[in-house]
Amino acid sequence: MSKYIATRAIRGANAIVAEAEALLAKALAEKGPDTPVAFPNTAYFLPVMNGMLGAEVTKLGQLKPVLDHAKRLLHVLPRDNVWSPYLGETLDCGQATLLATEAIEAIRFVYGEQPEKYPGFRMGGSTNYGLDGGHLNGPIDDIQLRSWGIQLVDGRMPGFAAIVGAAKSNEVAVKIVRELQRRNILVFLSGNVNGRSIIDQLQEEGVEMGYDTYIVPFGRDTISAIYALGFATRSALTFGGMKGGQWRDILLYNKFRVFAFVLALGEVDDLKYAAAAGAISYGFPTIADTVIPQILPTGVTRYEHVISMPFNEIPGQDDLERAEQLVQKCIEVRGVKLKITEVPVPVPYGSAFEGEVVRRADMYIEHGGKNSRAFEYLRMAPMEEVKDGDIQVIGPPLEEMREGSSVDLGILVEVAGRKMQLDFEPVLERQLHYFINGASGIQHIGQR
């Protein structure tokens, strides 16, 4: 265990628990101990507290014993002249950090400071707070948890990536997220570096975020990363058949069943080290794109615990290739099991793009709608008349069409099979919607 990492994590944990205590004291004085406290649209109370301690927190005053427990998990900083295995102390402080940050977010809800305000921001599907946009997502609701959780369990969704901080550039930020989307990996965003977050970078590049695109922006500070661990805890409670307080079973479930990892972009401060220690206790490794000490032996995680991949030292012809290699390393370290079907198209392709919305201001060409005609027709044909994989494009190429114009389009698909039946035609035709929508930058709607 790295003494440097232990020192930074323990120091960060002590600081954040003290901050949570001060915030709670202020809230109790101003709001009173009977003030309701909860995350919206969930039956799991404050999920990390519920999962780890069995605490069913519903009132502000009930946070006091939780923070008292967090204080008991804290340890003093390692002494300069003493070297020992610091893993246990570091993991304790990681759990204390998770309890403290969840308490802080719960208190922020009491004050109306969550979900975090972000003027001009629009989500492509999010938790419903009754607000008209202009905010980030905050915690994921139970309905979406069940929707994604089934895919996590059956393998359609390999896992999730909790990205904290900001990438080297906007282009690198987009590339990292697109590579994860292409692999159907959920992307959770939080944190910042010197006030700049990967959320800002994606927003500036016009990347749509929300449930529909598998990109969930929790908040622009590191504290909001607790929502990712709350999601993991609820996954175990929902799909693992566990009850609140079965902390060991919940942690083991996540280690072996939830393939998640933390990707720390940019400078790693004390709080990020402490939060990473909490993630490691779930079996989720941390990969950083800066120079930090590594923890290579296996144990709490299935493979390495902490990996340092200084971005500029990653092999590659340019930053975009380095970003691709960084994502691949994250997948290897966590042991994420991927099932990728390579589609030979010049844009990213995957189910994560199915909910993508193409706004009129960004649209290059439109087929159908008010100003042109479009149809799709799938029909059965004799086996000898169908050549597998034969694609014919009749008409002018895309680059010869005028930007912003509306052009007629007809898609004719001929299928054949030994047991093909006429009744299968509409079922197969419906799949065109999903096949087309899987391409990034294309929106397909209005199928009959």
Please state, rounded to an integer, the average pLDDT across all residues of the chain.
Answer: 92
Residue 336: count of CB within 10 angstroms of its CB = 17
Query: Per-residue pLDDT averaged across 228-234, rounded?
Result: 97
The answer on pLDDT for 170 being more than 70 is yes
Tell me the C-alpha to C-alpha distance, in Å, between residue 440 and each of 36, 353, 389: 43, 6, 22
Predicted local confidence at residue 340, as pLDDT: 61
Residue range 50-96, pLDDT digits in tens: 999 999 999 999 999 999 999 999 999 988 777 777 889 999 999 99
The answer on pLDDT for 37 being more than 70 is yes
DSSP string, 339-400: -------SS-BSGGGTT----GGG-SEEESTTSS-EEEEEEE--GGG--TT-----S--GGG
Predicted local confidence at residue 86, as pLDDT: 82
Q: CATH classification of 3-334 is 2.60.120.10, yes or no?
A: no
Q: pTM for this one?
A: 0.84
Predicted local confidence at residue 156, as pLDDT: 78
Q: Residue 306 — pLDDT band, cuts 50, 70, 90?
A: very high
Tell me the C-alpha to C-alpha distance, in Å, between residue 245 and each of 50, 65, 107, 248: 6, 15, 22, 9
- Enumerate the domain spans of the chain: 3-334, 358-437
> Could you tell me which residues come within 8 angstroms of residue 154 by beta carbon, excluding any fewer than 6 positions away?
none
Predicted local confidence at residue 342, as pLDDT: 72
The answer on pLDDT for 180 being more than 90 is yes
Ranges 10-19, 80-89, 138-147, 176-185: which has the least confidence: 80-89
Instruction: Assign 128 to helix, strand or coil.
Output: coil
The answer on pLDDT for 339 being more than 70 is no
Ranges 81-85, 181-185, 187-191, 320-324: which has the least confidence: 81-85
Residue 361: count of CB within 10 angstroms of its CB = 7
Query: Per-residue pLDDT averaged across 25-30, rounded?
Result: 98
Ranges 154-158, 176-180, 240-244: which has the least confidence: 154-158
Query: Per-residue pLDDT averaged across 335-352, rounded?
Result: 77
Q: What separation, in Å, do the N-terminal and C-terminal C-alpha atoms of the chain show?
A: 60
The answer on pLDDT for 166 being more than 90 is yes
Predicted local confidence at residue 344, as pLDDT: 80
Nearest to 268 by CA among 209, 309, 216, 238: 309
Highest-confidence range of 100-109, 338-347, 435-444, by mean pLDDT? Answer: 100-109
The answer on pLDDT for 256 being more than 80 is yes
Residue with tokens 């009132």: 59
The answer on pLDDT for 363 being more than 70 is yes
The answer on pLDDT for 122 being more than 90 is no
Q: Please, what CATH class does the domain formed by 358-437 belong to?
A: alpha beta
Nearest to 266 by CA among 299, 208, 309, 322: 309
The answer on pLDDT for 286 being more than 80 is yes
How many residues are given for the chain?
Answer: 448
> Could you tell me which residues come within 8 angstroms of residue 290 by beta carbon, excluding any fewer than 6 positions away?
264, 266, 267, 268, 308, 310, 311
Residue 119: count of CB within 10 angstroms of its CB = 7
Query: Per-residue pLDDT averaged across 142-153, rounded?
Result: 87
Predicted local confidence at residue 59, as pLDDT: 98
The answer on pLDDT for 202 being more than 90 is yes
Angle at 136 between CA 132 and CA 139, to 5 degrees: 110
The answer on pLDDT for 283 being more than 90 is yes
The answer on pLDDT for 129 being more than 90 is no
Predicted local confidence at residue 211, as pLDDT: 92
